[in-house]
Amino acid sequence: MLLVGRTVQTAVRRNLCRPFSASKNYLHERKGLVLGVFEDEGEEGRLHLTEAAAHFNQSVSGRLSELLQISGPKLKKGKSRIFYGIHKDFPCVAVVGLGKNDAGVCGAENWDTSKESIRQGMAAGCQLLQELELNTVEVDGCGDAQSAAEGATLGLFHFDQLKSKKKTKVSLQLHGSADAEGWEKGITYAEGQNLARLLMEAPANHMTPTAFANIIEEKLAPHAQRVTINKRPQNWIKEQQMGAFLSVSKGSEEPPVFLELHYNGSPDGKQPPLLLVGKGITFDSGGISLKPSPSMDAMRADMGGAATVCASIVTAAALKLPVNIIGELPGVKNFPRWFGFSQKTFFLSKENKWRFLKEVDNTDAEGRLILADALCYGHSFNPRAIVNVATLTGAMDVALGSAATGVFTNSNWLWEQLHKASVVTGDRVWRMPLFQHYTKQVTDSQLADLNNIGKYSRSGGACTAAAFLREFVTAPHWAHLDIAGVMSNKDEIPYLRKGMSGRPTRTLVEFAASLAHDG
């Protein structure tokens, strides 16, 4: 009898855990469903259904829990199974493991483990159903509808705009009567990050500075009452005496664009703005200091700082956050050209206190130059805080890899706000030093006031880059986010497919939302 029982178990498992070939049209006509299960702490190997999964289990007379028991070992976090034909409305039901139900914030990992597990699980389930070419998928809120929506939406993103064969577009819906408001918020957060991913993935001949500005203008068009867009041309850049920005632009025939966005979300309009500055190098060849060929392809995403900043402002506008935000995006291509941007270039920037003679010893350290001019200009708005975001240094990738964004800041308050936001989103940040040790390396220049790479170009490269930027900041609350390490994703973040990551867009949005809440 035991042998027969095992044989029956195996037969059931094989028939209910694999697709049946005759069902393709049927699958197109029906919805898929993703449900979650937690690990039961009380008994080894048992699973605890989420509220939505338990309700579904009741509707199929306990068949779901029965199938989970006979389909193999316990469902580990991030793993999934698909069952077929157990509900008339859902021919495909994906069940995903969510780990422990009470995991919460982990001090060692600096994130909320429960939220991350839900994002990972819902992404895995939705990706499985997308492969079956289902058009609509309902998603279990898992007690945290925002995280479920984020995971599902981020997990389904795939850049195939330039391919003839595209993945199935999946419409996501919240299953049951869970937190609909949290679900919609999560969708908006994730769509913001997906916008940044879309911008970063696009090839450089499609994503010129002008094209970038036009796309952002189009994305912000529905929010025209709250948003002012200024696409500043080259003549305006010259008038502002942005010598560093103009110097970098000389290597390319593409004209530079200084994109300036004003989101006015504060009810009275009197709140000092949050200033976000993003590096907008739409392609970085390295200039005369040419990059090695294997590194060049990814440099289509060297405008990741501008992409995440713009996506954050688009998201803030969609959420109608009661906060004022100004975005500055100096957009340019860094190309080599004999009469253009080259080593041992010297140039002046803004007058008065911003009048610096800079020595360029490496044209591949151009991002800090265009950011310097943007930071100088940004002080004129008397911002509440300044946050600049840039894929600035390979040294940051060496230091932290893809685990977290490196943050250099002169403000404990600003660090705490950014860190708190990153714990919520799971898109982590990590504080890096701004010692005078690094400042001396960029200010000790034989020929000028500053050197763009410092005395020791390889040692502490991310830190000397931050020290260079600090020379252009007088604001008491400033942070530089070096996102070079988190620019792309291989398999590190389970709910992001391979490609450009769009990080840390959700952390920036959560940070802006916290400022709105705190007033």
The active-site residue, picked from 63, 74, 291, 420, is 291
According to the 3-state scheme, what is the secondary structure of 16-51?
HCCCCHHHHHHHHHCCEEEEEEEECCCCCCCEEECH
The active-site residue, picked from 77, 368, 497, 503, is 368
End-to-end distance of the chain based on CA atoms, in angstroms? 70
At residue 146, φ and ψ (nearest 5 deg) are -65, -45
Active site residue 368: yes
CA distances from 14 to 60, 67, 453 (A): 20, 11, 61
According to the 3-state scheme, what is the secondary structure of 382-440?
CCCEEEEEECCCHHHHHHHCCCCEEEEECCHHHHHHHHHHHHHHCCCEEECCCCHHHHH
CB neighbour list of residue 256: distance below 8 Å, 6 or more residues apart: 209, 234, 237, 245, 246, 248, 249, 330, 331, 332
- Can you tell me the distance from the alpha carbon of 434 to that of 346, in angstroms, rounded to the nearest whole number? 25
User: What would the two tokens of residue 488 be?
Assistant: 């792309």
- Nearest CA to 33 out of 88, 77, 95, 76 is that of 95
Task: Count CB neighbours of 350 within 10 A.
Answer: 20
**Strand ranges inside 107-256, DSSP E:** 111-112, 136-140, 171-175, 227-232
Rounded-to-10 torsion of CA 97, 99, 100, 104: -120
- Can you tell me the distance from the alpha carbon of 214 to that of 337, in angstroms, rounded to the nearest whole number? 27
Rounded-to-10 torsion of CA 123, 124, 129, 131: 110
Residue 97 belongs to what H/E stretch? Answer: strand 92-100
Active site residue 63: no
- Can you tell me the distance from the alpha carbon of 379 to that of 471, in angstroms, rounded to the nearest whole number? 13
CB neighbour list of residue 423: distance below 8 Å, 6 or more residues apart: 105, 110, 111, 112
- Can you tell me the distance from the alpha carbon of 194 to that of 139, in angstroms, rounded to the nearest whole number? 19
- Nearest CA to 407 out of 483, 512, 465 is that of 483
Active site residues: 291, 368
